[in-house]
Amino acid sequence: MIKNWQLISLVVVVYLFGLIVLFPAKVAVALAPVPENVEIGRVDGSIWNGSIERVNSQGLSFYNVSWRLNPLALLRLRAQADITIPSHPSNIVQGAAQIQASSDALIVSNANFAADLEDMLVLSPVSSPIPLRGGVSMNIASFELGSPICNALVGQIFAMQVQARFGAQWENLGDYETNLGCSEGRISIEMPDNNLLGLSVNGNVAPTGIDLRIGIAPKEGAPQGIRDLMQWLGQADSQGRRYFNFRL
C-alpha cells in the first residue's frame, strides 16, 4: 500500500512539474491583465520561453517579441524575464532588455536597442524642419518605474553618423551623445555641446510635459545650410551661442 501511495505521489509530482514547465504561454497571456489599448497577436511556446507574433499599442506594433522567464527569480518572489525584439521589416526598434517585477517595483536593466533616426522622428511630437537620417542606439543600465515616470534611471542615447538634407544633398552632422537620468520622478536629459553643431540640451521629460533648454553654436566644418538657419534663432550671446526653450 505504501509503495502504491509513493508511486501515485511520484506521478502527481511529475504531472504537476510537467504542467508548470509546459504551461502554454497563450493561456498565461489570456489570463494576464492586458490593458485595453494593447492588442496581442498569436502566442506560441510556454510560459517560460515563448513569443508573441505581434504586440500593438496606439498604432505602434512590434513583431515576434520573445521572452525567457527565469524560474530561480520566483524563489525571491519576483518575476524576471529576458525580452527580445528581433530585426523585422515592421519593427521600428530592435534589441533586448531584462525586466524584473515584484509586488512593489518594476525594474528594467541591461536594455540595448537600435533604430533608424528617420523612423524615430516619426514618433516625435514635433516634426524636424530639415530631413535627417542616421543610426540611433539606446543603452539603459537600469530604470525603475515611478511617479510620474521613474524612481531611478541610468542610460545613454547615441545618434551616429547623422546627416541632414539641404536641397538634393545630404550633409554630415556627426555623432551625438545624450545622458539620461531621473530627477524628481522625471527623465532628465543632458547632451554636452562636444559635437559639430555645438548642440546642447538640458531639461526633463515626463508624461505631464517636456521642458528643455537648447543651445547651439555650429563649429567650423558645419554645413552652410545649418549656419543659414541661425539667423532665425535670435541673437547670439558673447560666446556665439544661441539658446531657446522647448516646452510641451
The model's pLDDT over 58-101, given as tens digits with 9 standing for 90+, comes to 778 899 999 898 877 777 778 888 999 999 999 999 999 999 98
- Size of the chain, expressed as the number of residues it contains: 248
Report the b/e string of 153-186 with b at 16+ CB within 10 A.
Answer: bebebebeebbbeeeeeebebbebeeebebeeeb
pLDDT digits (tens, 9 = 90+) for 136-189: 999 999 999 999 999 999 999 999 999 999 888 999 999 999 999 999 999 999
Residue with cell 526598434: 93
Q: What is the H or E stretch that residue 21 is in?
A: helix 2-21
> Residue 225: pLDDT above 90?
no
Per the CB < 8 A criterion, the answer to whether 100 and 79 are in contact is: yes
ω into 148 cis (within 30 of 0): yes
Q: Is the pTM of this model over 0.85?
A: no
Q: What is the reported pLDDT for 233?
A: 79
The partner residues of 43 in beta bridges, in order of sequence, read 52
Residue with cell 545613454: 156
pLDDT digits (tens, 9 = 90+) for 110-145: 999 999 999 988 888 777 888 999 999 999 999 999
Residue type present at position 210: I
Helices then strands, each counted (H, E), the chain: 4, 14
Q: What is the H or E stretch that residue 212 is in?
A: strand 209-216
Residue 31 pLDDT class (50, 70, 90 cuts): very low
Report the b/e string of 111-127 with b at 16+ CB within 10 A.
Answer: bebbbebeebeeeeeee
- Segment 208-236 shows an average pLDDT of 88
The pair phi, psi for residue 71, each rounded to 5°, is: -65, -30
Per the CB < 8 A criterion, the answer to whether 94 and 118 are in contact is: no
